[in-house]
Amino acid sequence: MEAKKNSISWSIRIVVSALFILSALAKLSKGHLLDSPYFAISTFEVKQLYTLGFSETIAPYFSRTLIGIEMALGLLLLQKNWLRKFIIPVTTLLLLVFIGHLTYVTFLSGGNSGNCGCFGELLPMTPIQAIIKNIVAVALLVYLYKLLPKVSDNGNFWILTTILFASILWIYMLAPIQPPASNFTVSPMVETPQDSIEEATVVVDTIKKDSPIKKDSIAKIETELLKEPKKVKSGNAQYFASIDKGRKILCYFVPGCDHCRAAAKELTEMRKKDASMPPLSILFMNEEADLIPDFFKEAGATYPYKIIEIIPFWNILGKGKDTPGVKYFWNGNEIKYYWGITDNKFNGSEFNEYLHKSYDDLKKTNPKL
């Protein structure tokens, strides 16, 4: 009987330990374990911590410390010091906090969509799936607590502190905190003087006063002169000076992203069929930037581009959004924005329709233009 209990307790310890260690490593991984720690942890910060209200100053420290604690608890479940009196209760408490947070997030969002971030981008998991996983882990820990003998298991507390600080330090060394990108600002969209429209109004007024042109002709001239959206600032002129002049396409891509490459290739094919397509520029995330030549080779064309650091890139892409991003501007006005690979993913045929819509047609669906 004692041997059976021991076997069950070790099985539980290994399973829960593996969950915590995998959770820590996954938050440092993009496509494979530990393949891109800084990218993965930055993505975790922007998509998970920023949404909880963490500032850009606090998030890097909190993320690395939390991941270090996860790693430490996973390792400490495999040793005997303070196991029943400290490690199991603390681990259970942490899981209960996670369950409470995920339940609150699910309630606020009104559904079960998105990635909870438990296993980073390596193993996407919905909030409901994560809640179930954590409840099962809590149940296992409670059972483990009952299985373990009630004799004193104080042991050596220095082993706990050593593993904890070593784990946290390892995370900081694996993904060092980088200084914020310099001169990165995103201006809000604001109206600017409409010089061309004002000039057009003056011309029309002059015609009305000094020329015997019929009223219907004047109305036609007014329509032709005022058929473009008002001029605004999109906040992207710091990257491409002419982005707010006329019709432009701005893409947000990651050089190694297959979905980004597919979107770029489709845009190139569209351009080959329609020479009237607006100019296209790209903002690349500074992740695997050495792959940019391969990116353009696969896309079938080369476009003007700038490289943006990881966290600023996520910020400019927009809260809750993912790559690939394709945005259509007209005089700085955002006409259409595709992002991610789910419901709002890039749709070439639909995008082509937007590109050929007149100002009057666009204004029917967007009165702000």
Q: Is the confidence at residue 204, as pLDDT, over 70? A: no
pLDDT on residue 123: 81
Q: Residue for token digits 């699910």?
A: 106
Residue 293 belongs to domain with CATH number: 3.40.30.10
User: Where residue 250 falls among pLDDT bands split at 50, 70, 90?
Assistant: very high
CA 36 to chain centre: 16
Locate tokens 């996670």: which residue? 98
The tokens for 94 are: 């942490």
Q: Judge if 169 and 249 occupy the same domain.
A: no
Mean pLDDT of 352-368: 86
Tell me the pLDDT tens digit for each residue of 5-23. Answer: 889 999 999 999 999 999 9
- What is the C-alpha to C-alpha distance for residues 93 and 97, in angstroms, rounded to an integer? 6
Closest CA to 253 of 315, 290, 306, 187: 306
Phi, psi of 221 (to 5 degrees): -65, -45
Same domain assignment for residues 265 and 196: no
132 and 250 in a single domain? The answer is: no
Q: Is the pLDDT of residue 193 over 60?
A: no
Same domain, 62 and 155: yes
Which tokens is 1 given?
A: 């009987």
| Percent of the chain residues past pLDDT 90, beyond the cut | 54
- Residue 246: inside a domain, yes or no? yes
220 and 243 fall within a common domain? no
Q: For residue range 125-154, what is the model confidence (pLDDT) as tens digits?
A: 888 888 999 999 999 999 999 998 877 667
CA-CA distances (angstroms) from residue 26 to 19, 21, 34, 173, 196?
A: 10, 8, 7, 16, 54
Query: What's the pLDDT score for residue 110?
Result: 58
One-letter amino acid for residue 83 of the chain = L
Q: Which two tokens stand for residue 177?
A: 């905190």
Q: Are residues 213 and 340 in the same domain?
A: no
Distances (CA, A) of 27 to 70, 119, 355: 11, 6, 39
Residue 183 belongs to some domain of the structure: no
The model's pTM: 0.73
Confirm whether 127 is domain-assigned: yes
Higher pLDDT, 58 or 124: 58
Residues 207 and 258 in one domain: no
Q: Is the pLDDT of residue 192 over 70?
A: no
pLDDT at 271 over 80: yes
Mean pLDDT, the chain, rounded, equals: 84
pLDDT of residue 299: 95
Q: Give the residue-averaged pLDDT of 188-193.
A: 37
Question: Within a domain: residue 186?
Answer: no
3-state SS record for 282-313? EEEECCCHHHHHHHHHHHCCCCCEEEECHHHH
Instruction: Report pLDDT for 363.
Output: 84
Domain assignment present for 115: yes
Structural domain count, the chain: 3
Q: What pLDDT sits at residue 207?
A: 38
Which pLDDT score, from 0 to 100, does residue 335 have?
94
pLDDT band, very low/low/confident/very high, at 113 (cuts 50, 70, 90)? low
Q: Which of 70, 45, 289, 20 is nearest to 175 (CA)?
A: 45
User: 220 and 325 share a domain?
Assistant: no
Shared domain check, 8 and 117:
yes
Which of 125, 155, 181, 163 is CA-nearest to residue 308? 181
Tell me the average pLDDT across 158-165.
94
The number of beta carbons lying within 10 Å of the beta carbon of residue 267 is 24
Say yes or no: 139 and 219 in one domain.
Answer: no
Q: What mean pLDDT do residues 184-195 have?
A: 37
* pLDDT tens, residue by residue, 64-95: 999 999 999 999 999 989 999 999 999 999 99
User: Which pLDDT value is given to residue 152?
Assistant: 62
Residue 182 is assigned to a structural domain of this protein: no
* Per-residue pLDDT reduced to its tens digit, 30-39: 777 788 899 8
- Contact indicator for 174, 37 with CB cutoff of 8 Å: yes
Tens digit of each residue's pLDDT (9 = 90 or more) over 46-57: 888 887 888 888
The kind and range of the H/E element at 333 are strand 333-339
Residue 181 lies in a domain: no
Pick the more confident residue, 342 or 333.
333
Across the range 94-107, mean pLDDT stands at 86
Sign for the pseudo-dihedral over CA of 25, 29, 33, 35:
negative
Between the alpha carbon of residue 317 and those of residues 5, 37, 258, 311, the distances in Å are: 52, 21, 18, 10
Question: So what's the pLDDT on residue 30?
Answer: 79
Whether residue 334 is contained in a domain is answered as yes
User: Do 160 and 19 share a structural domain?
Assistant: yes
**Cβ–Cβ < 8 Å for 99, 186:** no
**Range with the poorest average pLDDT among 30-34, 101-105, 193-197, 342-346:** 193-197
Residues spanned by the domain of 308: 236-365
Q: Indicate if 55 and 18 belong to the same structural domain.
A: yes
